[in-house]
């Protein structure tokens, strides 16, 4: 069975906020600190009429249009988010209703924070493999601007809002239309990991069942940094599962938290600098949306081409991690 990635889509809030804009908004910081410590130059922040749902919907509609797939042909919708519009129903339910996907479709959210998109890919693959349709919308969508403590300069400058989506297919044979050969296509292997004993390193300060609020982001930055570099700097088992080696990787598309983490992990892996896709400078950390937004950027500017091997790597709250390898 093949799980080809047919298209990508992206949606960003209307308002782009530079580091200097943050200073103007009263955050006690400066452009030089943010750029040197994180590589972030700007982020997009939702206005009142924008939300995780509207971003997820817009990214999904764009991905469907680019794939030439009608909403009526979607069998699975998985939205990775930890910043949903409502505690329930899910963002996936709102997207299903808004785009007119069939009521027979499996639609659910996955709360995996920064590893959420890899979890969503794994979930969608499993649902498609069980026969729940021929096409899945896999979406990462977040509005971290709504859960950061704007008085905590150590965290509020790091995050942004956005959504990215892919349409994943499911076929029994090779997908000749994509690469013209019969080699395995699309999502070749995916793996996930979790160490819940470290939940306190990066978490929300509240929730429905504890404080009856969404809480705000609380992070032990240095500890998370260290663990992220250690985890993302290891050769992920997905490569061997897919019968590949690091040398086969054309594009490294990691979760975009901090350019220093990305470069340290890339160095540890020994991957060439020009194979690393970086969008954290433009989007900041958009949690579960960062990998699909980075994929969309590198596909739409022509870097990622059909047949390329793409390695995605995520790390975040949990502490959680995950990797996926795709033959594009």
Picking from 141, 241, 121, the residue whose alpha carbon sits closest to that of residue 184 is 241
Q: In whole angstroms, how close is the CB of 234 to ligand UT7 at the nearest point? A: 16
Q: Which residue is nearest to ligand UT7 (CB)?
A: 221
Local structure of 56: helix, strand or coil: helix
Contact, 154 vs 195, CB < 8 A? no
> In the set 2, 7, 231, 285, which binds ligand UT7 (CB under 6 A)?
285
For 271-293, letters b (16+ CB in 10 Å) and e give beeebbbbbbebbbbbbbbbbbb
Q: Is 254 in the site for ligand UT7 (CB under 6 A)?
A: no
Piece in contact with ligand UT7 (CB under 6 A), picked from 3-11, 34-42, 72-80, 183-191: 34-42
Q: Is 257 in the site for ligand UT7 (CB under 6 A)?
A: yes
Per CB under 6 A, contacts with ligand UT7 among 77-116 are 114
Residue placing its CB nearer to ligand UT7 in the complex, 98 or 148: 148
Q: Is 37 in the site for ligand UT7 (CB under 6 A)?
A: yes
- Report the C-alpha gap between 243 and 52 in whole angstroms: 37
Contact, 252 vs 271, CB < 8 A? yes
H-only helix segments in 100-136: 116-129
Neighbouring C-alpha atoms within 13 Å toward the C-beta of 295: 36
> In the set 228, 293, 294, 312, which binds ligand UT7 (CB under 6 A)?
228
Cα 29 to chain centroid, rounded: 27
Residue placing its CB nearer to ligand UT7 in the complex, 57 or 203: 203
Applying CB under 6 A, the residues found at the interface with ligand UT7 are: 29, 33-34, 37-38, 114, 153-154, 157-158, 202, 221-222, 224-225, 228, 257-258, 261, 285, 316
């Amino acid at each position: 069975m093949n799980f080809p990635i047919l298209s990508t889509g992206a949606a960003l809030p209307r308002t782009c906020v530079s580091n200097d804009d943050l200073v103007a908004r009263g955050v006690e910081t400066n452009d030089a600190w943010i750029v040197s410590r994180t590589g972030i130059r700007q982020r997009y922040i939702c206005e009142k009429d924008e939300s995780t749902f509207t971003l997820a919907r817009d990214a999904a509609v764009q991905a469907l249009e680019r794939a030439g797939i009608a909403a009526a042909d979607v069998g699975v919708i998985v939205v990775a988010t930890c910043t949903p519009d409502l505690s329930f129903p899910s963002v996936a339910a709102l997207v299903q209703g808004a785009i007119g996907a069939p009521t027979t479709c499996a639609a659910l959210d996955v709360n995996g924070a920064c590893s959420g998109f890899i979890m969503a890919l794994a979930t969608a693959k499993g649902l498609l493999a069980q026969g729940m349709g021929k096409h899945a919308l896999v979406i990462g969508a977040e509005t971290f601007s709504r859960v950061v403590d704007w008085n905590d300069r150590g965290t509020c400058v790091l995050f942004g809002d956005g959504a990215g989506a892919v349409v994943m297919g499911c076929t029994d044979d090779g997908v000749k239309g994509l690469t013209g050969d019969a080699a395995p296509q699309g999502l070749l292997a995916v793996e996930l990991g979790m160490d819940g004993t470290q939940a306190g390193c990066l978490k929300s300060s509240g929730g429905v069942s504890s404080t009856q609020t969404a809480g705000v982001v609380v992070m032990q930055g240095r500890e998370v940094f260290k663990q992220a570099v250690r985890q993302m700097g290891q050769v992920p088992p997905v490569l061997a599962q897919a019968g590949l080696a690091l040398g086969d990787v054309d594009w490294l598309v990691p979760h975009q938290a901090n350019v220093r983490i990305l470069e340290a992990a890339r160095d540890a892996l020994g991957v060439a600098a020009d194979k690393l896709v970086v969008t954290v400078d433009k989007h900041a950390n958009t949690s579960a949306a960062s990998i699909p937004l980075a994929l969309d950027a590198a596909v739409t500017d022509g870097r990622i081409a059909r047949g390329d091997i793409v390695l995605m790597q995520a790390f975040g709250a949990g502490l959680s991690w995950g990797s996926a390898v795709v033959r594009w």
